[in-house]
């Protein structure tokens, strides 16, 4: 930690270097009478929002969403600053924020959050301008975490041994899994209907525990030629456009995972609750934007990845797939139990992915060897698809692998549960609506539940109200 008493002059000098850029990026100010502290914080938030949008204008992959005032960023969208100017302004704003003193606790928390986000913006600019960074340097600079150097190889070997016992046929384990998995692929003519039913089930499960904001809705679209299988574009005002890439063959369980991940209680619910409780409820306008490569995005992705374990504990997941989705897809529901057991085991193998990505991005594995490692260790027979994704999004893979494991630990779920344990609604909903300073702490301990999770989260009405939770409906 730096000694501010000795470094104040240096901080001021650095801030002055970017003063002209900060002024050029600052919107014109109104003349309403507010306190100096409010004026300063509001101006800082506006500057941060403009910088995040500016980065998105220069690189669309770098911005997940912005639903704040379009008037605030109209000039930025018309004529965005250069990447160099964005980085200088972000660094200057960090130094400016660090000079503030005697702020109330919540204001200080908000400023610390923006500092982490601004540092991520600067680091993303470095990535875009080919500044050399290792995988670990990227994850630390952009997401604020360091992925462990290794994983439990003995446990992974045990998982593969169990899969070897369960999977029929001849050939490599990956080939046998591919053949097994293909039998549960949803025919393309039935995909839309099955996906809609899956989203409906996810929504009903969520609404049994969380009162969603009035008017919330999702719009489902099917697309092609994307590097991902699903994407949720948050529009603001509690609405999301969800795109599903039909270039990938989707099995029954994969459809349910996507439905929970992208909609309820995943990205759509997370973003809607953040907007309702924090942006509108507590006037934290800085959360109206999400840079893709940021600590905020790590939390969002981790929440979405755990969504299916929240909405569908193992027994409910089996019942819903066997009794609803399998028949709708024209598949034999009697095979659902064995199918989900295999899927849960394969899911545990995700712990190997960050290490392979690290070695690939750091140049220790060339494309073919990385492809082989993915096949041998995670049973991906088409690892080239994952590697192409890593080529574009680089260390982002850490958000839904290590980020997921970190968050599962924070919420009290065993990392190697493989879908065989659930995350409680009480812990999940409290965590996903937490203020920024408490959302991404590796040192945090698992949240405690009130009355063994017998509570209901209410948003958009009386936020302090709680009701007895209802059972997840079986459709």
Same domain for 352 and 224? yes
Q: Give the per-residue pLDDT at 104.
A: 81
Asked if residue 291 belongs to a domain, the reply is: yes
Same domain for 126 and 157? no
Query: Angle, nearest 10°, between helix axes 295-305 and 252-262?
Result: 140
Same domain for 119 and 175? no
- Does the N-terminal peptide bond of residue 265 adopt cis geometry, omega within 30 degrees of 0? yes
Q: Which of 103, 132, 161 is the last residue of a domain?
A: 132
Same domain for 170 and 124? no
Same domain for 310 and 270? yes
Residue 5 CB neighbours (<10 A): 6
Q: For the chain, 475 residues long, give each residue's pLDDT as a single digit of tens.
A: 333 333 333 232 333 334 344 445 554 333 333 344 445 889 999 999 999 999 999 999 999 999 999 999 999 999 999 999 999 999 999 999 988 766 788 888 999 999 999 999 999 999 999 999 999 999 999 999 999 888 889 999 999 999 999 999 999 999 999 999 999 999 999 999 999 999 999 999 999 999 899 999 999 999 998 888 899 999 999 999 999 999 988 999 999 999 999 999 999 999 999 999 999 999 999 999 999 999 999 999 988 999 999 999 999 999 999 999 999 999 999 999 999 999 999 999 999 999 999 999 999 999 999 999 999 999 998 899 899 999 999 999 999 899 888 888 888 765 444 444 457 888 888 888 887 554 444 443 334 444 333 334 433 323 222 222 222 222 2
Residue 191 CB neighbours (<10 A): 18
Which among 289, 391, 260 is positioned nearest to 76, based on CA atoms?
289
Tokens of residue 403, six digits: 């980020």
Same domain for 222 and 112? no
Asked if residue 463 belongs to a domain, the reply is: no
**In the chain, how many domains are there?**
2
Q: Give the per-residue pLDDT at 375.
A: 94
Asked if residue 23 belongs to a domain, the reply is: yes
Same domain for 234 and 363? yes
- Distance from C-alpha of 77 to C-alpha of 58, rounded to nearest angstrom: 9
- In this structure, the strands spanning 210-211 and 230-236 are unpaired
Same domain for 213 and 121? no
Q: Give the per-residue pLDDT at 435.
A: 72
Phi, psi of 131 (to 5 degrees): -75, 125
Q: Give the per-residue pLDDT at 226.
A: 86
Q: Give the per-residue pLDDT at 33.
A: 36
Q: Which domain holds residue 228?
A: 153-458
Q: Which of 97, 132, 167 is the last residue of a domain?
A: 132
Helix (H, G, I), strand (E, B) or coil at 261: helix
The answer to whether 176 and 167 are in contact (CB under 8 A) is yes
Q: Give the per-residue pLDDT at 418.
A: 46
Helix (H, G, I), strand (E, B) or coil at 243: strand
- Distance from C-alpha of 83 to C-alpha of 432, rounded to nearest angstrom: 32
Asked if residue 464 belongs to a domain, the reply is: no
Same domain for 173 and 97? no
Q: Give the per-residue pLDDT at 311.
A: 94
Q: Give the per-residue pLDDT at 8.
A: 33
Same domain for 409 and 374? yes
Same domain for 443 and 297? yes
Asked if residue 471 belongs to a domain, the reply is: no
Same domain for 173 and 47? no
Name beta bridge partners: 217: 239
Asked if residue 283 belongs to a domain, the reply is: yes
Q: Give the per-residue pLDDT at 67.
A: 97
Q: Give the per-residue pLDDT at 27.
A: 44
Rounded to the nearest angstrom, the gap between the alpha carbon of residue 207 and the centroid of all alpha carbons in its chain is 21
Asked if residue 396 belongs to a domain, the reply is: yes
- In this structure, the strands spanning 210-211 and 457-458 are parallel
Asked if residue 169 belongs to a domain, the reply is: yes
Phi, psi of 250 (to 5 degrees): -115, 125
């Amino acid at each position: 930690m730096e000694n501010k008493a000795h470094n104040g002059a240096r901080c001021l000098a650095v801030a002055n270097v970017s003063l002209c850029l900060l002024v050029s990026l600052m919107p014109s100010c109104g003349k309403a009478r507010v306190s100096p502290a409010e004026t300063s914080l509001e101006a800082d938030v506006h500057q941060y929002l403009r910088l995040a949008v500016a980065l998105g204008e220069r690189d669309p992959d770098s911005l997940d969403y912005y639903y704040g005032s379009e008037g605030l960023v109209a000039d930025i969208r018309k004529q965005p600053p250069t990447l160099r100017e964005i980085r200088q302004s972000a660094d200057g704003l960090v130094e400016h924020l660090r000079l503030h003193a005697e702020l109330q606790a919540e204001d200080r928390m908000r400023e610390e959050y923006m500092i982490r986000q601004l540092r991520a913006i600067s680091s993303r600019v470095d990535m875009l301008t080919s500044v050399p960074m290792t995988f670990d340097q990227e994850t630390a600079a952009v997401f604020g975490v360091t992925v462990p150097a290794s994983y439990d190889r003995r446990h992974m070997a045990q998982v593969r041994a169990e899969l070897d016992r369960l999977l029929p046929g001849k050939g490599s384990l990956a080939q046998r899994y591919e053949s097994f998995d293909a039998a549960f692929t949803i025919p393309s003519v039935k995909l839309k209907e099955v996906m809609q039913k899956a989203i409906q089930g996810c929504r009903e499960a969520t609404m049994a525990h969380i009162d969603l904001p009035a008017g919330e809705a999702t719009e489902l679209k099917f697309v092609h030629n994307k590097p991902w299988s699903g994407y949720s574009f948050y529009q603001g005002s509690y609405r999301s456009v969800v795109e599903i890439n039909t270039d990938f063959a989707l099995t029954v369980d994969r459809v349910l995972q996507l439905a929970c991940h992208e909609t309820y209680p995943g990205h759509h619910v997370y973003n809607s609750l953040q907007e309702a409780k924090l942006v509108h409820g507590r006037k934290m306008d800085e959360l109206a934007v999400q840079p893709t490569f940021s600590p905020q995005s790590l939390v969002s992705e981790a929440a979405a990845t755990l969504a299916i374990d929240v909405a569908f504990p193992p027994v409910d997941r089996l019942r819903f797939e066997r009794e609803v989705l399998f028949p709708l897809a024209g598949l034999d529901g009697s095979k659902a139990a064995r199918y989900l057991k295999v899927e849960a085991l394969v899911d545990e193998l995700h712990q190997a992915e960050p290490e392979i990505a690290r070695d690939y991005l750091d140049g220790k594995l060339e494309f073919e060897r990385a492809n082989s490692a993915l096949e041998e260790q995670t049973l991906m027979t088409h690892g080239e698809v994952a590697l192409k994704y890593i080529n574009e999004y680089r260390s982002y893979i850490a958000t839904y692998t290590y980020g997921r494991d970190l968050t599962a630990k924070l919420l009290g779920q065993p990392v190697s549960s493989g879908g065989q344990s659930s995350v409680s609604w009480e812990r999940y909903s409290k965590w996903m609506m937490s203020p920024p300073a408490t959302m991404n702490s590796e040192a945090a301990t698992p949240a405690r539940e009130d009355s063994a999770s017998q509570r209901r989260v209410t948003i958009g009405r009386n936020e302090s109200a709680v009701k007895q939770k209802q059972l997840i409906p079986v459709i």
